[in-house]
Structure 1
Amino acid sequence: MSSFRLRPRFSHTLDLSMEDMRDKIVRQALDDGDLCEVKCFPGYLTLRIPERAQHYWSPQLNLSLESDAPGQTRVEGTYGPNTSVWSAYLYAYLLVGTAGIFSGIFGACQWFIGETAWGLGVFATMIALALGLYILAQFGQKLAAQQTFLLHRVYEDAVGHAVVVK
């Protein structure tokens, strides 16, 4: 399940209705005792690590259930950190990306008109920060790998077969 993606995911279709699929996943999560918690919303489920076992990098599995055809359900699963951690990363990437684009354009303009292109130094710093954020996210995924496997096992037990994560 090792992935270089920021949020590993999977997608497949099952021969069950949406309600039956949701009930099967919820039942499996409850049958596994206190290994994970489940939050249900219409067409959407979240499997999480119980709060007492969570750490900063603890993952959650977000499942989107859509009726693909009569008696079939398409399941889209996405692994990711807690919503607050994901939001912090999203805003950090947004800030670094925006500053990188503007400093790159400004530095290129400085260079073309023959001035000192200090904007390119800021651009290089933003690239280094973006790379650092990515490496930190990969490190967090490795710290959360055991809990991610646990959530994935609960889901695979519910559907009754192996599911490949991309």
Structure 2
Amino acid sequence: MPFNRKDKHNPGEIRPRFKLRTDHTKDEVFELLNSFCEKDDSVLGRKVYDQYYLDIPNKDRHFWSPELRVTLEDDEENEGYTLVRVMVGPQYTVWAMFVFIYILLGLISIFGGMYGFSQVSLGNDSPWIWAFPFGVFLFISVYIVAKMGQRTGRDQTLHLVSVLYHSIGDHKLERVEI
């Protein structure tokens, strides 16, 4: 789901990112997002330090529901403009679970494969030699599950991006190449 890329065929993108430019100040953008989220019950908004999170309400949320993390910073190249950096991703618990699974699979595959290869090179039979190919298979399987989950949350993702555009104002936003 590459929202802001010229090359729209990036199948490996797990947490899509895009960048916008607006002539509003950071405080104005936070206020616009906050006021829009208070009026619209189809989205939850919360400010955490210098970031704003757009979420799906609990009644509509499922395991694969996305969240938008909006980070604002002053545009150094164009004075008087604010850069709106957006990252679309799963809830942090889901993201942490997948990172843990990837790390665990990687460690078991590499060290199990090394142990199995060393045993085979010494002339011993070892079922650990299959750890690396089996780990690669599981790694690809987990990746496919993650992409299917991303597709499940696609409508909610598009809704959150639409809320972002409508809250700040379509005419005040300009896409910036990352």
TM over 0.5: yes
User: What's the TM-score once normalised by structure 1's chain length?
Assistant: 0.86
In structure 1, distance between residues paired with 2:176 and 2:137: 32
Q: 1:138-157 counterparts in 2 under 5 A?
A: 138-157=147-166
2:36 is the counterpart of 1:14: no
**Percent same amino acid at aligned positions?**
28
Residue of structure 2 in register with 1:123 after alignment? 132
Matched pairs, number = 165
- Describe the SS at the equivalent of 1:115: coil
User: What's the TM-score once normalised by structure 2's chain length?
Assistant: 0.81
Q: Please point out which of 65, 70, 74 is paired with 1:67.
A: 74
1:101-136 Cα shifts (integer Å, max 9, x gaps):
212322333344343353330111111111111000
Q: Please point out which of 34, 59, 62 is paired with 1:52.
A: 59
- Describe the SS at the equivalent of 1:38: strand
- Describe the SS at the equivalent of 1:30: helix
In structure 2, distance between residues paired with 1:164 and 1:150: 21
In structure 1, distance between residues paired with 2:107 and 2:125: 22
Q: Please point out which of 71, 83, 88 is paired with 1:79.
A: 88
The structural deviation recorded for 1:62 is 0.9
Do the aligned partners of residues 18 and 83 (structure 1) sit closer, same or farther apart at CA in structure 2, a change above 3 Å counting? same
Q: Please point out which of 106, 115, 137 is paired with 1:97.
A: 106
Between stretches 133-142 and 67-76, larger displacement belongs to 67-76
Between stretches 79-88 and 155-164, larger displacement belongs to 155-164
Between stretches 67-76 and 45-54, larger displacement belongs to 67-76
In structure 1, distance between residues paired with 2:120 and 2:86: 46
* Aligned alpha-carbon RMSD (Å): 2.3
Q: Does the 8 Å CA contact 1:156/1:163 hold for their aligned counterparts?
A: no
Q: 1:20-35 counterparts in 2 under 5 A?
A: 20-31=28-39, 33-35=40-42
1:132-158 Cα shifts (integer Å, max 9, x gaps):
110000110111111111001011213
Between stretches 150-159 and 11-20, larger displacement belongs to 11-20
Do the aligned partners of residues 17 and 102 (structure 1) sit closer, same or farther apart at CA in structure 2, a change above 3 Å counting? same
Q: Which residue identity does 1:107 align to in structure 2?
A: G
Q: Please point out which of 36, 43, 48 is paired with 1:36.
A: 43
Q: Does the 8 Å CA contact 2:20/2:174 hold for their aligned counterparts?
A: no
Q: Please point out which of 118, 133, 136 is paired with 2:142.
A: 133
- Describe the SS at the equivalent of 1:7: coil
